[in-house]
Amino acid sequence: MISFAGFRKRDWVIEPLGRADAPAMAAVHNEGFARPWNDGEFAALLAQTPVFGFAARREGEGGGPLSGFVLARLAAGEAEILTIAVAKSARRGGVGRRLMDAVLLRLHADRAEAVFLEVDERNAPALALYRRLGFREVGKRPGYYAERKGEPASTALVMRRDLR
C-alpha cells in the first residue's frame, strides 16, 4: 500500500477520508440515495483495513465542508467501489470524475487487477460517469434494488474495469 498525499486540481482538494468525516459523509449520501447509510455505518467501514476513500472539499483556508466522497475496498487484487456521492450543489463540476480518478490512481499504485461496481440501470448520471472512465457491463442483477415509494424494483448492472 502507498501513503497517498492529497493532490489539487483547480478549486477542489481531493484527500484521503478519515473517520471524522463519517457524519458529513452520511449527510452527502442522504442527498443521493433512497436508502442512505448513517454515520455509524461509514465509521465502521472506514475502520476496515481494506477500505479506503477520498474526500472532495472546496479549496480554501482550513479546508471546507465535504462536497463529495468515494469509498472503495481492495482485497486479493480485486477492488470494488462501495459508494460515491457528490452534494447536489456541487454536481456537474467534475467532482465525481476527480474522486474516481483518485481511486483508480491508488489502485494502479497498489497493482490491483480489476475494479467492480454495481449501479442502478436507471441511474443515467452514474452510468455516464463510469462508461467515460472505461467501465464495461459484465452482469445484471434483476430486482436488486427493491421497490420503494411507488418506484418499481430495478436492475443492478455489474460493471468492471481492468487495471492491467
Ligand X SMILES: CC(C)(COP(=O)(O)OP(=O)(O)OC[C@H]1O[C@@H](n2cnc3c(N)ncnc32)[C@H](O)[C@@H]1OP(=O)(O)O)[C@@H](O)C(=O)NCCC(=O)NCCS
Q: Which is nearer to ligand X, 10 or 164 (CB)?
A: 10
Q: Per CB under 6 A, which region of 47-55, 88-96, 106-114, 142-150 contacts ligand X?
A: 88-96
97 part of the interface to ligand X, by CB under 6 A: yes
Longest dimension (CA), the chain: 47
Among 13, 79, 95, 107, binds ligand X (CB under 6 A): 95
Contacts 24+ apart (CB under 8 A), 145-149: 145/120, 148/34, 148/35, 149/34
Among 25, 46, 84, 159, binds ligand X (CB under 6 A): 84
86 part of the interface to ligand X, by CB under 6 A: yes
Q: Which is nearer to ligand X, 55 or 111 (CB)?
A: 55
Q: What contacts 101, CB < 8 A, 6 or more positions away?
A: 133
Half-sphere exposure of 160 (CA within 13 A, CB side): 9
Q: What is residue 87's three-state secondary structure?
A: coil
Q: Which is nearer to ligand X, 123 or 155 (CB)?
A: 123
Q: Which is nearer to ligand X, 3 or 101 (CB)?
A: 101
Question: 135: which 3 cell numbers?
Answer: 467501465
Give the whole-angstrom CA distance, residue 55 versus residue 66: 7
Q: Minimum distance between the CB of residue 59 and ligand X, rounded to whole angstroms?
A: 16
What binding mask, one character per residue, do residues 5-44 give for ligand X by CB under 6 A, x or -?
---------------------------xx-----------
